[in-house]
Every structure is written in C-alpha cells, then in structure tokens.
Amino acid sequence: MTVHNLYLFDRDGVCLHYSEWHRKKQAGIPKEEEYKLMYGMLFSIRSFVSKMSPVDMKDGFLAFQTSRYKLHYYETPTGVKVVMNTDLGVGPIRDVLHHIYSGLYVELVVKNPLCPLGQTVQSELFRSRLDAYVRSLPFFSARAG
Amino acid sequence: MADEALFLLLHNEMVTGVYKSADQGEVENGRCITKLENMGFRVGQGLIERFTKDTARFKDELDIMKFICKDFWTTVFKKQIDNLRTNHQGIYVLQDNKFRLLTQMSAGKQYLDHAPKYLAFTCGLIRGGLSNLGIKSIVTAEVSAMPACKFQVMIQKM
C-alpha cells in the first residue's frame, strides 16, 4: 500500500503544491500542462457528477479508481482542492486530506505572511512537514510496492 | 484557538501594511521597524497596567524580568520564556525556543532576513511593559534559526 503523489490546487486552478513519492510512470507532458490537465478533469468530473446523479447529491465527487491506482479528492468551501493518488488497497481517506488542508496548509501557508496566497508555495517548512506527515501515514510503505 | 489566530493574522497584516505604506527611503533606514516598535511600546504599556493591577509590588529588577518571562509572556503568547540570562549589570537575554509569531514561517534558515520585521512589535511590547514598571530600557531581538529567537534587554540607569 503506498502513496504515489499529491496535488494541491487553489480556487483558480493554480497548482499550489505537488509532491511525488512513488511514481513509476510520468505523464509524458510538461509539468505545467499536467497540472492544467488534472485541474480541468476535476472540474469537469465535479460538474458531471452533480448533473448526472440519480439521487440527491450529498458529498459529490470523492474518488475514482482504475485497475492500478485510486485518485482521492477533497475540496474545501474556499475552493482549495487536495488530490492524492494511492494504490488500490487504500480506503476512504477524507480525514487525511482534511488534515493536509487544515493542519498543514492553513497552519503553515495561510498563516505565514511571507507566503502570498494564489501562488505556488515556497515555504520549506510546509514541504518538509507535508513529506513527514505522508510518510507517517499507515498506508504509506517505503517500499515501492 | 480562535483568539491566537486573530492576533497572528492581524500582526502579520500590520507588518505588511506598514511596509506597503512606506517609501523606499523609509524601508532602507529602518523607519518601518521603528514604527512597529513604537506601536508595540504603547500596547505594552497598556497591557502591563492590566496584568499587574492585582499583583504585589516587585522586589527588584530581577523580579520584574521574571514576571515578564513567566506571567506576561504566558498571557500574551500562551507559553513562558525558555531561558533567561543576565550579567547582573543591567543586561538580560530572554530566549524563546519556539516563538509563537515565527513558528508558521519556517524551521531553520528560510525567510531569515524577513524575521526582524516580525519581532519589532514584540520588542516594543517588552520595552513598553518595562517602562510602565519604572524601568527604562532598550530592547533588541536577534534570530539565528527560526523559530528560536533571543530578546536582549539593556537597562538604562537614569
């Protein structure tokens, strides 16, 4: 069980942060385009899910999975989107993504006067704490499995 | 806690605001730091009046410094000063290993050159508090690795 990578987007689609831990295959396009592709896809899926839902929608889009990986999605009321790709053995991790937002992003970026909002996060502290947190998760194994 | 975040965000905005409304010349000769320090001075004077209205008179200077390190720091920053050093000749060094206004910024060297701006208000706070307790002083701050920082208090003999 492992975490492949993590994206953080803000309300306007700016990619605030990206880290990867075990990514065996790259997308084959430049990073900027990859972020735009990811954001555009999420935007479309969200509106698709709400339109085509056969019952009243409660939470909306939560995750999708393929035969090799699972993409988890969490969106806050302010429009910050946390996207994490893990392998298939991982269940719902809404609380993990919520902690990444509230305990890490809000604490270390929003409250940091030297980090302007709406731009890629430069703070080393955020990067190292996020890395340490993800590595400490129960479903993260150091072996690329 | 909600009130901590409020002060932190307000303080950060205050520093940004002072720097934004200053001209280039003022930024270079440290006028902004002085403005922030003076704001802290006035706030410190008021705060110390409130905090000491029920306490007994202080025995001596060292007692006053201990009050600042323990009760004053706890009421403002929810923790005590970690280390107080003195040369018994009017110089005190207050060391805080995890200064509340800097913990979110970085853990080490990043953003180090911006740190003094965020310490100026607190220097004034200490100076104002001491002045209303009858001690004239000069307070400076230095930071080598965030979030630890040292406040140096030099007592002026009148």
Residue A116 pLDDT grade (very low, low, confident, very high; cuts 50, 70, 90) = confident
Question: Cβ contact (<8 Å) for A111 and B104?
Answer: yes
Find all residues with CB under 8 Å of A141, minimum gap 6, and list them. Answer: A1, A2
Question: Cβ contact (<8 Å) for A111 and B110?
Answer: no
Q: What is the pLDDT of residues A34-89, one digit of tens each?
A: 999 999 999 999 999 988 888 888 888 889 999 999 999 999 989 899 999 998 88
The full set of domains in chain A, from first to last, is 1-134 (3.30.450.70)
Q: Is B30 left (phi over 0), alpha (psi -120 to 50) or beta?
A: left
Using an 8 Å Cβ cutoff, are B148 and B99 in contact? yes
Angle between helices B31-51 and B115-132 (to 10 degrees): 40
In chain B the first and final C-alpha atoms are separated, in Å, by 42
Nearest to B48 by CA among B127, B158, B153, B120: B127
* Cβ contacts of A125 on chain B, cutoff 8 Å: 104-108, 110
The pLDDT value recorded for residue A9 is 93
Give the A window 91-120 contacts with B, CB below 8 Å.
107-108, 111-114
Residue A145 has pLDDT above 60, yes or no: no
The full set of domains in chain B, from first to last, is 4-155 (3.30.1380.20)
Burial class (CB in 10 A: 0-12, 13-18, 19+), A25: exposed
- Cα–Cα distance measured from residue B44 to residue B38, given in angstroms and rounded to the nearest whole number: 10
Q: What is the pLDDT of residues A83-107, one digit of tens each?
A: 999 988 888 889 999 999 999 999 8
The pLDDT value recorded for residue B76 is 87
Using an 8 Å Cβ cutoff, are A6 and A134 in contact? yes
Pairing relationship of beta strands A3-9 and B137-145 according to DSSP bridges: unpaired
The pLDDT value recorded for residue B1 is 47
- Cα–Cα distance measured from residue B51 to residue A36, given in angstroms and rounded to the nearest whole number: 54
| Per-block mean pLDDT, blocks of 10 residues, chain B (158 long) | 79 88 70 90 92 85 87 88 89 90 82 87 92 91 88 87
Other CB atoms within 10 Å distance of the CB of residue B91: 13
Nearest-Cα distance to chain A for B31, in Å, is 20
Give the rounded distance of the alpha carbon of A1 from its chain centre. Answer: 17
ipTM: 0.74
Residue A121 has pLDDT above 80, yes or no: yes
Please tell me which residue of chain A has the smallest CA distance to B13. Answer: A113
Question: Cβ contact (<8 Å) for A114 and B5?
Answer: no
pTM over 0.90, yes/no: no
Instruction: State phi, psi for B100 to the nearest 5 degrees.
Output: -55, -35
Using an 8 Å Cβ cutoff, are B47 and B132 in contact? no
Of A85 and A1, which is predicted with more confidence? A85
| Sign of the alpha-carbon dihedral angle for B68, B74, B76, B81 | positive
Nearest-Cα distance to chain B for A48, in Å, is 37
Using an 8 Å Cβ cutoff, are A113 and B16 in contact? yes
Of A114 and A33, which is predicted with more confidence? A33
